[in-house]
Structure 1
Amino acid sequence: MKRFDTVLFDFDGTIMNTNEVILRSWQHTFQTIEHRDEDVAKIIKTFGEPLEVTMKKFFPDVPVDEAVEIYRSYHRDNFGDLITVFPGMKNLLRQVKERGEKTGLVTSRLAYTTKQGLEKYDLKDYFDVVVTAEDTKKHKPDPEPVNIALKKLHSLPGNSIMLGDTMFDILCAKNAGVTSVLVGWSLALKSGDDFGEDAPDHVIRKAAELLELL
């Protein structure tokens, strides 16, 4: 008997390596507003956080919409050239679909670039449901994005598992009652040590290791 019939995936840092375009977009924003580069480690700590929230922290004296547009204009122009799929991920998605599990993509990214990334690497057909930032009023770590995906898939939390690379992903899964898996190939987090009581249920180092949990 299968432990899970539904597998949910985060996008950035889980399926798609968007590290370079994100870091470059942030440095462009800092250069434009403050004429300096920011420490990369400080930027990485914000991975997974809604962009508007991070902008308020980094640039409290700048209108959020203005700062966001500086970031997103660079991001849009360079996204397609600077992203890659993480090793083994496309093969994993194919195997999950062949096994018959229902699949969903749950991301805080906007629909436009999410679609662009999925289409560039022919990944769109591997997902039964895609939930992006525009689909929710609340974002990770609130459970709403996962709840929407489960509702569309007619899936139960107890039969579902979610992969992510940030604390926001793991807490979102936990808050929705879904089994959480931290991926170890992201820049964001390498282990569950930073979570304390909210540690992920599982940590995997390679994409294929997910199959051992299903």
Structure 2
Amino acid sequence: MYSTFIFDLDGTIIDSERIGLEALQAALYENGINKTIDELRFSVGIPGLRTLEILNIADIPTTLETWLEKQKPFMSDVPLFNGVIDTISQLPKTAIVTSQNQKEMQAGFYQLDIAHHFQAVVCADDTEKHKPNPDPLNLALQLLACEKENAIYIGDSIYDMHCAAAAGVDFGLAAWGVASTANYTSARYIFETPFDILPLASR
């Protein structure tokens, strides 16, 4: 049983993966780089800055801005996964740890009128190191005054799972946000729907 439930954002709470990947693809195309969506899937779960570093983009600030501008029109009404907010509203204490930066959060998350469901939000601007490093998750635990054994981190990427392991926090896979669960054999839990989380809440 857990007193604190910490969630990833993209692919876990909001169904934004395709939007982000298509916007990245379009931004790269303007730089003369042609990549398929599958070739860009590695970027899901890590900060945009790190993605562009991996891709060896020459002008990272401009490309990052172009990427954000291309996804901004769609992020203000990005769909939420069914049952996620209903579930979160019934949990004792909740937070978000995301690889989005503050500018991305302002363009999307904070437009969705769901921020009041969370007692803490940690984004990429809040720590020097990012997932899979444990620092973002450790910061969330600190903000919530929660011991790691009383918390669970729920996400949809390998980076989320490794972040939880590095922080000594149990990990639950948001299976509704992944195509396959095959790579998540070390997850403590595999949740098929958000409602599967509720029995783990301590009261």
The TM-score normalised by the length of structure 1 is: 0.86
Pairs aligned (count): 201
- C-alpha displacement of 1:115: 4.2
Amino acid at match of 2:61: D
Structure 2: runs of 5 or more not aligned: none
Q: Which residue of the partner structure matches residue 58 of structure 2? A: 62
Instruction: Quote the offset at 1:113 in angstroms.
Output: 3.1
Going from structure 1 to structure 2, the CA distance change for 1:14 and 1:78 (only over 3 Å counts) comes to same
The runs of at least 4 consecutive aligned structure 1 residues that moved more than 6 Å come to none
Question: Superposition pairs for residues 1-214 of structure 1, below 5 Å?
Answer: 3-34=1-32, 36=34, 38-58=35-55, 60=56, 62-81=58-77, 83-96=78-91, 101-187=92-178, 190-191=180-181, 193-195=182-184, 199-214=186-201
Measure how far apart 1:61 and its partner are.
5.2
Query: After superposition, what is the alpha-carbon deviation per residue over 1:15-65, rounded to whole angstroms, capped at 9, x for unaligned?
Result: 0111232022112112201263x222122232102212221222x252322
Gap change, CA 1:87 and 1:137, over 3 Å in 2: same
Residue pair 1:167, 1:195 contacting (<8 A) in 2 also: yes
- The 1:122–1:69 alpha-carbon spacing in structure 2 relative to 1, beyond 3 Å, is closer
Identical-residue share of aligned pairs (%): 27
Distance 1:112 1:30 in 2: 20
How far apart, CA to CA, are the structure 2 residues paired with 1:207 and 1:102? 15
Do the aligned partners of 1:85 and 1:121 also contact (CA within 8 Å) in 2? no
Check conservation: 2:137, 2:167, Cα contact below 8 A: yes
User: Mind listing any 5+ residue stretches in structure 1 that lack a counterpart?
Assistant: none
Equivalent residue letter for 1:152: L
Q: CA RMSD in A?
A: 1.8
- Counterpart code for 1:28: A
Q: Shift in Å at residue 190 of structure 1?
A: 2.6
Inter-CA distance 210–115: structure 2 relative to 1 (3 Å threshold) = farther
SS of structure 1 residue aligned to 2:23? helix
Q: Distance in 2 between matches of 1:201 and 1:26?
A: 32
What is the CA-CA distance between 1:213 and the residue it aligns to?
A: 2.8
Partner Cα distance (2:67, 2:195) in 1: 34
TM-score w.r.t. the length of structure 2 is 0.90
